[in-house]
């Protein structure tokens, strides 16, 4: 054993894959790579070994801004009491079609 050579930590990248033409890119996981180019290659090898995608995005995890520290909070509350934004809120008179 030659001992542990300290290597600088490689940045973390979030990986998004478009499964097929016509679908949006979806988050599939993350990986470490020294730069964007290698991150793309690693993402191809790690997340698309079985043709899971036709396009890959890699984004530095540090560049993501998240809405809140939790997956739930008052940030989304303003939408909760606006039921009139949904078509089901309205009564349609009987017999009226194409509405």
Residue ranges in contact with another protein by CB under 8 A: 1-5, 7-10, 12, 29-35, 38, 45-46, 49-50, 66, 68-74
Closest CB to another protein among 71 and 91? 71
Q: Which residues pair with 13 in a beta bridge?
A: 31, 60
Task: State which residue, 5 or 91, has the beta carbon closest to another protein.
Answer: 5
Are 92 and 57 in contact by the 8 Å Cβ rule? The answer is: no
**Those residues with Cβ within 8 angstroms of residue 21's Cβ, 6 or more apart along the chain or in another chain:** 54
Give the residue with the Cβ less far from another protein, 33 or 56: 33
Cβ 15 to another protein shortest distance, Å: 9
Smallest gap from Cβ 19 to another protein, in A, equals 13
56 within 8 A of 40, measured Cβ to Cβ: yes
Q: Which residues pair with residue 56 across a beta bridge?
A: 17
| Residues paired with 31 in a beta bridge | 13
Given the complex with another protein, which of 24 and 95 has the nearer CB atom? 24
- The least distance separating another protein from the CB of residue 87, rounded to whole angstroms, comes to 19
What is the distance between the alpha carbons of residues 11 and 33, in angstroms, rounded to a whole number? 6
């Amino acid at each position: 054993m030659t001992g542990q050579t300290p290597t600088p930590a490689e940045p973390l990248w979030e990986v998004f894959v478009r499964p097929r033409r016509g679908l949006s890119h979806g988050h599939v996981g993350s990986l470490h790579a020294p730069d964007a180019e290698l991150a793309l290659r690693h993402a191809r090898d790690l997340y698309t070994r079985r043709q899971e995608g036709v396009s890959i995005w890699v984004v530095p995890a540090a560049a993501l801004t998240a809405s809140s520290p939790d997956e739930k909070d008052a940030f989304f509350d303003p939408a909760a009491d606006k039921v009139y934004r949904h078509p089901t809120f309205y009564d349609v008179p009987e017999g009226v079609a194409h509405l």
